[in-house]
């Protein structure tokens, strides 16, 4: 993607995030940080069968799409790219919705373990290279109903 295309994408996603009210939707995550803001429509992987398959065998994914892995309790998380055909950014988050680590451009079909560290409550997978282009960095925060609302740094609106 050329510089103009990346700038247009970043501007479009930032505008979407800027228009977001304090509402949350289970199929959407909003991220913000010093580098910018973004919104992604996500599939939820909150069961072992969904988590073990993840984004395997997909040949493409929309730039505004992703998959959110949600764990019942924070844990030490490790991922790999077996049977995954597209490069991914893996964004590791704690219970408060804070980005604790990012693994950029995971290599398709690589079976090397990608260590996300301890106390991982969620992992957001998006197209490779997007985290950097969108200004998503360690310390950015995510808003989602899957974030523990008691500790959320960017909580959903009260009903």
Give strand ranges (E) for 24-87: 28-33, 36-45, 65-79
Residue ranges, the chain, pLDDT below 70: 1-22, 158-159
pLDDT for residue 8 = 43
Tracing tokens 């957001």 back to the chain, one arrives at 124
Q: Which two tokens stand for residue 120?
A: 């991982």
For 79-110, write each residue's pLDDT tens digit: 999 999 999 999 999 999 999 999 999 999 99
pLDDT for residue 106 = 98
> What distance in Å separates the CA atoms of residue 78 and residue 140, rounded to the nearest whole number?
21
The one-character DSSP state at 83 is T
Number of other residues whose CB lies within 10 A of the CB of residue 101: 17
Tracing tokens 């199929």 back to the chain, one arrives at 27
pLDDT for residue 6 = 44
31 touches 17 (CB < 8 A) = yes
100 touches 72 (CB < 8 A) = no
Q: Which two tokens stand for residue 38?
A: 């973004």
């Amino acid at each position: 993607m050329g510089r103009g295309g990346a700038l247009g994408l970043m501007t479009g996603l930032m505008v979407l995030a800027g228009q977001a009210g304090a509402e949350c939707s289970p199929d959407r995550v909003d991220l913000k940080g010093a580098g910018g803001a973004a919104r992604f429509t996500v599939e939820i992987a909150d069961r072992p069968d969904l988590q073990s398959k993840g984004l395997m065998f997909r040949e493409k994914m929309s730039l505004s799409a992703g998959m959110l892995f949600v764990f019942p309790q924070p844990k030490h998380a490790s991922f790999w790219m077996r049977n995954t055909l597209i490069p991914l950014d893996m964004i590791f988050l704690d219970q408060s919705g804070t980005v604790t680590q990012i693994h950029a451009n995971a290599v398709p079909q690589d079976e090397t373990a990608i260590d996300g560290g301890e106390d991982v409550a969620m992992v957001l997978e998006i197209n490779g290279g997007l985290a950097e282009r969108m200004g998503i960095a360690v310390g950015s925060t995510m808003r989602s109903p899957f974030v523990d609302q008691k500790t959320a740094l960017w909580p959903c609106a009260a009903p």
